[in-house]
């Protein structure tokens, strides 16, 4: 009798796991442009955490090439390029200093223009 109980529980767990793997989808990082605009604003106003900023810089954005270009610009700001040095860390918990914030403000304005130029669509 114990064998049948263990077998039934194991069978239910195995079937449940198979169904979860079959119909589940893997977690993906698909931020919207407005979310990244909010993150950039939070960095500029010194309200974003370093973890949020590092996550944004570390994960590629494959679903939106324009947003990926914004992310690459932010990486260039953070790490520097051959011609431009990296932004320095700011004071009092700020991620960047004043010069870095000014460069980030330019990226912020570029993203704002991308959002404004985005076509509007509705599903009825």
- Model confidence over 6-36: pLDDT tens digits? 999 999 999 999 998 888 887 778 899 999 9
**Range of 84's domain?**
33-117
Domain total of the chain: 1
Strands (E), 23-96: none
Confidence (pTM): 0.75
- For residue 122, pLDDT over 70 is answered with no
- pLDDT confidence of residue 124: 64
**Residue 69 exposed, middle or buried by CB count within 10 Å (0-12, 13-18, 19+):** middle
Give the DSSP H or E segment for 105: helix 98-117
Residues 54-107: tens digit of each pLDDT = 999 999 998 889 999 999 999 999 888 888 888 888 888 788 889 899 999 999
Q: Does some domain include residue 25? A: no
CA nearest to 59, candidates 14, 29, 34, 79: 29
**Assigned domain for 89 exists:** yes
Residue the block writes with tokens 């932010």: 74
| 6 domain-assigned | no
CA-CA distance, 110 to 71, in Å (whole number)?
Answer: 12
**98 assigned to some structural domain:** yes
Q: How far is CA 59 from the centre of its chain?
A: 6
């Amino acid at each position: 009798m114990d064998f049948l109980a263990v077998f039934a529980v194991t069978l239910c767990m195995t079937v449940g796991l198979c169904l979860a793997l079959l119909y589940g989808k893997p977690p993906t990082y698909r931020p919207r442009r407005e979310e990244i605009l909010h993150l950039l604003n939070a960095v500029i106003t010194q309200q974003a955490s370093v973890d949020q900023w590092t996550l944004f810089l570390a994960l590629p954005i494959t679903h939106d090439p324009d947003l990926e270009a914004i992310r690459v610009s932010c990486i260039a700001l953070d790490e520097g390029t051959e011609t431009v040095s990296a932004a320095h860390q700011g004071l009092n918990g700020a991620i960047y200093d004043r010069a870095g914030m000014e460069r980030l403000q330019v990226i912020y304005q570029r993203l704002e223009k991308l959002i404004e130029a985005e076509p509007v669509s509705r599903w009825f």
